Amino acid sequence: MTGPVVGTVDSYEVDGENRVPWVLGTQLHPEAGPLGRAPGGSRVLMIEAREFAGRKPYHHQKLTLLFSSMRHFREELRERGYEVEYVQAPTFGDGLAAYFEQYPNSTLVAMRSPSQGSAERLQELSEAAGGSLDVVENELFVSTRRAFDEWANDADVDPFTHENVYRWLRRETGVLLADGDPVGGQWNFDEDNREFPPEGWEPPATYDPGVDDLTRSVSEWVSETFDPWGEPGIGEGSDPADGGDSADDFVWPVTREAALARLDHFIEERLPAFGPYQDAMRRGDWAMAHSLLSPSVNLGHLHPWEVVSSCATSTGTRCRNWRVRTSWARRVPCPTSTGPATRGWSVSRRRSTTSGRGGIPTTSSG
């Protein structure tokens, strides 16, 4: 099982027949939540809701990444012996109606989506379709909602300042601490990460996971079905010889295996150069030494604790501090808690984030 390391998740059961895991497109981790509790051979629901992709001009690679990742996860689960009901429908409501028509007596069990208000909305849609949905803790965060609320509601510091959340989590987990004090004598090294690379500096090569036939077909389908912007990065116009270093190439992992490989590559090849130039931007250098891990964390391929713990055991105090800090900035307290503190956090964190590459947004739920 994979889950939060701060706080305790309430226990619940999933039998895969009467209580069936529903895996959302941002929860593609085989060991977390209801799926991690379901016995082998269980029925699993996935709904590929497509209508959202036509409401806004999404980047071509974002849509390819999302839909290809979902379809790869479907195939992975089937290979593991799960009975995957993969429903392709315009909306979640349509998909739920199709599912409950076939399985009217089952209760779906899903982790809470990071989107504000989504839990209540998905429960309403399930009831309208004649079924029921049990929403449980999203285990793809470092902290539970309850743990964050308990700290934030009694904190003697501003709980909605990232620096304070960051220090709380390090104290709770012991990351980069020695006898309760920060390793290196400082909580952060922000002032040291604003350098600009010297002339002639060459960034480490990006990790290119390659493109398989399934991803290629998804990319073609995205072109035919939607009106996206940006280069597909696959097929005509792409150059596989550049190893993924072109700003137009599709270099995003669509499986957990590929995401773990990118994490290993970052730790070994890119982390030492990441810190000093973390805030720099350079014309013609879309990736510099950034990890490019945010989409993999947002899709659930990687648990944020995997990233934090990998960085924390690498060499170089400043490099470790910089990456741990930015990892926790992405996904730490769950931003959809019913408690007053985390509702405020949700509002304060509701902003667009990008991967820093050609304006491609990090993947969020549809």
C-alpha angle 69/64/77, rounded to 5°? 15
Judge if 161 and 265 occupy the same domain: yes
**Range of the structural domain that residue 106 is part of:** 19-136
Asked if 334 and 279 sit in the same domain, the reply is yes
**In 3D, which of 96, 118, 60 has the Cα closest to residue 249?**
60
Q: Is residue 10 in a domain?
A: no
Per-residue model confidence (pLDDT) at position 364: 38
Same domain for 162 and 262, yes or no, is yes
Residue 178 bridge partners (DSSP)? 181
Torsion of CA 86, 88, 92, 95, to 10 degrees: -70
Closest alpha carbon to 104 in 77, 127, 134: 127
- Mean pLDDT score of the chain, rounded to an integer? 85
Same domain for 23 and 85? yes
- Identify whether 95 is part of a domain: yes
- Number of structural domains the chain divides into: 2
In a domain, 5, yes or no: no
Residues 71 and 110 in one domain: yes
* Longest CA pairwise span in the chain (Å): 66
DSSP H or E run through 61: helix 60-79
Beta 132-136 vs 107-111: how paired, if at all? parallel
Over the stretch 57-95, which tens digit does the pLDDT of each residue have? Answer: 999 999 999 999 999 999 999 999 999 999 999 999 999
pLDDT of residue 313: 76
pLDDT of residue 327: 60
Q: Give pTM, 2 decimals.
A: 0.86
pLDDT reported for residue 315: 58
Residues 167 and 193 in one domain: yes
Residue 13 belongs to some domain of the structure: no
Q: What is the pLDDT along the chain (366 residues), one digit of tens a residue?
A: 789 999 999 999 998 889 999 999 999 999 999 999 999 999 999 999 999 999 999 999 999 999 999 999 999 999 999 999 999 999 999 999 999 999 999 999 999 998 889 999 999 999 999 999 999 999 999 999 999 999 999 999 998 888 999 999 999 999 989 999 998 898 888 787 788 999 999 999 999 999 999 999 999 999 999 999 999 999 754 554 444 456 689 999 999 999 999 999 999 999 888 888 888 899 889 999 999 999 999 999 999 999 999 888 775 555 555 456 656 554 544 333 333 333 232 222 222 233 333 333 344 333
* Residue 361 domain flag: no
Cβ–Cβ < 8 Å for 225, 235? no
151 plus 75 within the same structural domain: no
- Among residues 134, 113, 137, the alpha carbon closest in space to that of 9 is found at 137
Q: What is the reported pLDDT for 362? A: 43
The b/e string for 167-191 (b: 16+ C-beta within 10 A; e otherwise) is ebbbeebebbeeeeebeeeeebbee
Which one of 76, 106, 136 terminates a domain?
136
**Residues 128, 149 within the same domain:** no
* 82 and 215 fall within a common domain: no
Which CATH number is 117's domain given? 3.40.50.620
Residue 261's pLDDT is 97
Same domain, yes or no: 126 and 158: no
Domain boundary among 136, 154, 182: 136
Residue 337 tokens, joined: 């808690």
Regarding whether 298 and 150 lie in a shared domain, the answer is yes
Distance of CA 75 to the CA centre of its chain: 20
- pLDDT of 274 reads 86
Residue that terminates a domain, selected from 89, 117, 136: 136
